């Protein structure tokens, strides 16, 4: 089961200047719970946005740069190569950014999407549109705005029909 995991605004906004547009501690906690122990597939810029590699996960970085190397990560040059390396993992996660989501979507069986209720005009990275006819929403859990979260959001789990 290949999963994608993302948090996106109402217009599919993901980020700006290789950073997030919001700070949602409970979403970070959920991301950690779901991805720990798994392979996480990402683009180079996403990997470089982390202060350090995320613990207890196998990092697979997709880049066009044939000379790119990173200690503590596996570097590949295609989504197919990334998926081949992670085939022993029962649930590898594609974690971004925008381009990697776009090339990964045809391979995905599941989308764990945190829908953030806000619009972000200055975003420069977006989650790809996906056909609601090809996907079924199987669970949704709402989370209100509170003292730790500036936006309300919903955890949505989609599976391919």
Domain limits, the chain: 3-160
According to the model, what pLDDT value does residue 145 have? 97
CATH code, 3-160: 3.40.430.10
According to the model, what pLDDT value does residue 120 have? 96
According to the model, what pLDDT value does residue 132 have? 87
**What global pTM score does this model have?**
0.95
According to the model, what pLDDT value does residue 72 have? 87
Residues of the chain scoring pLDDT < 70: none
According to the model, what pLDDT value does residue 110 have? 98
Q: Which of 2, 9, 24 is nearest to 109 (CA)?
A: 2
**103-135 pLDDT per residue, tens:** 999 999 999 999 999 999 999 999 999 998 999
Strands 13-16 vs 110-116: parallel, antiparallel or unpaired? unpaired
């Amino acid at each position: 089961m290949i999963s994608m995991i993302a948090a996106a605004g109402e217009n599919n906004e993901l980020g700006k200047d290789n950073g997030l547009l919001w700070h949602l501690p409970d979403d970070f906690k959920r991301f950690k719970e779901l991805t720990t122990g798994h392979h996480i597939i990402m683009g180079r810029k996403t990997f470089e946005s982390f202060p350090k590699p995320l613990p207890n996960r196998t990092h697979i970085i997709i880049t066009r740069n044939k000379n790119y190397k990173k200690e503590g990560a596996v570097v590949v040059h295609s989504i197919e190569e990334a998926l081949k390396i992670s085939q022993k993992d029962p649930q590898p996660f594609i974690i971004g950014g925008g381009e990697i989501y776009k090339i990964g979507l045809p391979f995905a069986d599941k989308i764990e999407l945190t829908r953030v209720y806000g619009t972000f005009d200055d975003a420069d990275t977006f989650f790809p549109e996906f056909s609601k006819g090809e996907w079924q929403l199987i669970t949704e859990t709402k989370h209100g705005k509170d003292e730790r979260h500036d936006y309300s959001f919903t955890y949505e789990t989609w599976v391919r029909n």
